Amino acid sequence: MEQISSQVLVVGAGPGGYVAAIRAAQLGLDTIIVEGDRAGGTCLIRGCIPSKAIIHAAERFESLKAHQSGHMGLKVSGDVSIDMPALVDWKNKIVDKLNKGVEALLKANGVRLITGWATFLDGKTCNVTDSDGNNIAHISTENVILATGSKSIELPFMPYDEENIISSTGALDLEELPEKIAVIGGGYIGLELGCALRKLGVEITVIEGLDTVVSIFDAEIRRPLERWLKKNKVKVHTNCLAQGAEISSDGVELSWKNKDGDLVSETFGKVLVTVGRKANTNGWGLEEMGVKMDESGRFVAVDSQCKTNMRGIYAIGDLIGEPLLAHKASAQGEMVAEIIAGKKRAFEPVAIPAIVFTEPEIVSVGLSPDEATALGEEIIIGKFPLAANSRALTLEAEKTGGFVRVIARESDHLILGIQAVGSHVAELSGAFVVALEMGAVLEDIAGTIQAHPTMSEAFHEGVLKTLGHAIHTM
């Protein structure tokens, strides 16, 4: 067993861990990163990136089918079909390319990547085992950055077998599309995959325990998505709880209680369970490190610098709680590396953007109207429809009934939040975040010149609408 010492040990090479390791090495710190799977983490290997590849392919397939009728004057003759093994292979090639890219970045910056599973003996030492359980390294370090991420929550009465009862990971590797899929959980993961699978021709039924799907957003933001689901014959059952599943030669018989308390059963080709994610806190020695959990008992407790209660031990990303987003983890990883190197930093963002890649896409940055009002803010709101944006029309983005909504404080016009819903609006999130982080007031954005024709004009017009003088809408 190799004996290794380092200044910084990062556990987990996801979007938080590998960014932390690279930044630490850039700052001259001797850095080691340990990863049990492939570098890139859940987001790159089995989450954000492969799902967006499948979503893009589904959009292309839907577009080709539309051209069978001569849409836009473009005519596709003959049948349009799906080769799922080829689609999955294309998706995997994207993942492989990015995985190798991350490994190359680690190497180029002088970070040593050790493939194996770290088990901590105390706060500053761990053993690393390979996939066969052999001890391959003993590491002692001055600083630890815990970036172990999260995993899909499994229903105890409906465990994953990735054949009939599948997780989001299994949904991204389907070699054959069943006729019908039930999605348990109407959050962003379930609906992103549900929308994509529906575009690929699968009948989708969503079982959601709450009153609405994607309940993290208010009714106005949800409405265009709900319209798309209805138009595309996605069955949505809210206030319903899954009860169990029986697997047979005919498929998976799923049972759930409806809002009236009655037991309902239906047979599906597969059942996709997307009821949330939980932090990876077990099996690697968290207790031996003496690190405390937060009040919920689900996440590691940290301060504004991602410091745990133990000196020299930091935790970032999904391990420390909501929002469970890759870009939050990356920002925290970079910050922690700089703190270890002696720089003054704290994690105090004005806003962390949340994006859902459903049809249509949803973006939220900062406060919603309800959240702002709950904080005692007197607000003004402006909403600009994509149907009045020329670039949106050329992209057919107006068909979703989407819009940009701006929330500002009435007294000084400070922008408190921006939301958008519609096709292609995810790319507007950068401008929204910059506006909030820079402390922009409405007049700052109103005074900018946006290129024409672009979707960014919708943000500008949303601000003008908030001020009461939008040009291109009533």
Hunting for tokens 């946006």 — which residue is that? Answer: 450
CB 377 within 8 Å of CB 414: no
- Between CA 226 and CA 218 the distance in angstroms is 12
> Is 452 assigned a catalytic role?
yes
Cβ neighbour number for residue 122 with a 10 Å cutoff: 12
Cis peptide before 360 (omega within 30 of 0): yes
What is the residue-wise DSSP string for 336-377?
Answer: HHHHHTT-------S---EEE-SSSEEEEEE--HHHHHHTT-
Angle at which helices 84-108 and 48-66 pack, to 10 degrees? 140
How wide is the angle at C-alpha 167 spanned by C-alphas 163 and 169, nearest 5°?
A: 95
63: three-class secondary structure by DSSP: helix
The tokens of 469 are what? 């003088």
The tokens of 2 are what? 């190799």
Q: Which 8-state DSSP code applies to residue 211?
A: S
The tokens of 102 are what? 């991350």
H/E element, 321: none
- What are the CA-CA distances from residue 273 to residues 31, 55, 121, 281 (Å)? 38, 18, 35, 21
Strand partners, 16: none
**Burial class of residue 147 in the structure, from the number of CB atoms within 10 Å of its CB (0-12 exposed, 13-18 middle, 19+ buried):** buried
CB 160 within 8 Å of CB 166: yes
Cβ neighbour number for residue 102 with a 10 Å cutoff: 23
The tokens of 179 are what? 């006729």
- Between CA 404 and CA 459 the distance in angstroms is 6
Q: Which of 452, 460, 469, 472 is catalytic?
A: 452
Q: What are phi and psi of 85, to 5 degrees?
A: -60, -40
Catalytic residues: 452
